[in-house]
Amino acid sequence: MMSFALQMMEPEIPLPQAGPSPQAGVMFTRRLRLEPMRQDDLDAMHGIVNETSVRRFLFDNQAISRERVRNMLSASERQFRENGTGIWALRTHASERLIGFFCLWPFVVKREMELGFALSWAHWGKGYATEAGVALIDYVREHLGWKQLQASTDLHNNRSILTLWRLDFVESALIRGPTGPLRVFKRKP
C-alpha cells in the first residue's frame, strides 16, 4: 500500500514524445528518464552499487571501489559511441537524482551482451524496474535490431527474477557462474 501511495504523489509532468531517441540514447517513460550514464554520476552510482541490498547479488556482496565504478562509466561511454549500448542512468521526471541504472553490458554468460539493472533500495517495489525494462527492450528492438535479449541472475535473486518474468523473459538455463549458480533468461525483443 505505501509504495502505491508514493507513486500517486509524483507530479504529472508533460513529456517529450515517448520512446527511445537513438541519437542520444535517451528514453522516456510515463514516470522515468533513462539516459547514458556520465562521469558526473560517479558518486551517486558508487553509492547505489555499494548498498548492501544491491551488491548482494550484483557484485557477489563485494564492496566496489570508486575506481572500478569510474572504469565502468568510461567503458560505458565508449560502448555508447561504438554500438549504442552501455549503462543508462535511471531518474524520475520529478528529480535529477539517480535512483538506479539499466545496462546492456557484457556479463558472465559467454561474455554476451545482457540486460542488467539495479535500483537503490529506497525505490524498490514501485514498478520502476519493469517500466524502464520495457523502454530498454523497445530500444533493443527498434534501434539495435537484436534477435534475442539475454539476462542472468543469481539463483535466489527473487526480485530480479520476478522483474524478468514481468518483462516476458523465459528461463533458458541454469549454469555455473564465477561464485555460484546463475539462472539465464532469454527474450525475443
**Start-to-end C-alpha separation, the chain:** 32
- Which pLDDT score is estimated for 24? 59
Q: What's the rounded mean pLDDT across residues 43-69?
A: 94
- Average of per-residue pLDDT across 107-120: 85
Residue 17 belongs to a domain: no
Residue 22 belongs to a domain? no
| Nearest-angstrom CA–CA distance, 185 and 24 | 28
Does residue 96 form part of some domain?
A: yes
Backbone dihedral angles phi then psi of residue 181, each to the nearest 5 degrees:
-65, 145
Grid coordinates in use for 33?
A: 528518464
Range(s) of the domain holding residue 128: 30-187
The average confidence (pLDDT) of the chain is: 86
Report the CATH number that the domain containing residue 83 is assigned in CATH. Answer: 3.40.630.30
pTM here?
A: 0.85
Coil, helix or strand for 89?
strand
Confidence of residue 15 (pLDDT cuts 50, 70, 90): very low
Region for 19 from its dihedrals, namely left if φ exceeds 0, alpha if ψ lies in -120 to 50, beta otherwise:
left
Contact (CB, 8 A) for 37 and 101: yes
Dig out the grid coordinates for 177 from the structure. Answer: 557462474
In a domain, 4, yes or no: no
Residue 110: its pLDDT value, please?
A: 67
Q: What's the confidence (pLDDT) of residue 11?
A: 28
- Please tell me the least confidently modeled range out of 32-41, 42-51, 77-86, 104-113: 104-113
Do the beta carbons of residue 185 and residue 152 sit within 8 Å?
Answer: yes
- Alpha-carbon gap, residue 151 to 131, rounded angstroms: 16
Is pLDDT above 50 for 21? Answer: no
Q: Does residue 110 form part of some domain? A: yes
Q: What is the DSSP string of 110-150?
A: GG-EEEEEEE-GGGTTSSHHHHHHHHHHHHIIIII--S-EE
Residue 169 corresponds to which cell in the numbers above? 523473459
pLDDT at 78: 93
Reduced to 3 states (helix: H, G, I; strand: E, B; else coil), residue 187 is: strand
Residue 174 has phi, psi (to 5 degrees) of -120, 120
For residue 3, being part of any structural domain is answered with no
Specify if 19 maps to a domain: no
Whether 159 maps to a domain, the answer reads: yes
Give the lowest-confidence range in 14-28, 42-56, 117-131, 155-169: 14-28
Map residue 87 onto helix, strand or coil.
strand
Q: For residue 103, is pLDDT > 60?
A: yes
How many domains are there within the chain? 1
Identify which has the larger pLDDT, 178 or 69.
69
pLDDT band at 44 (very low <50, low <70, confident <90, very high): very high
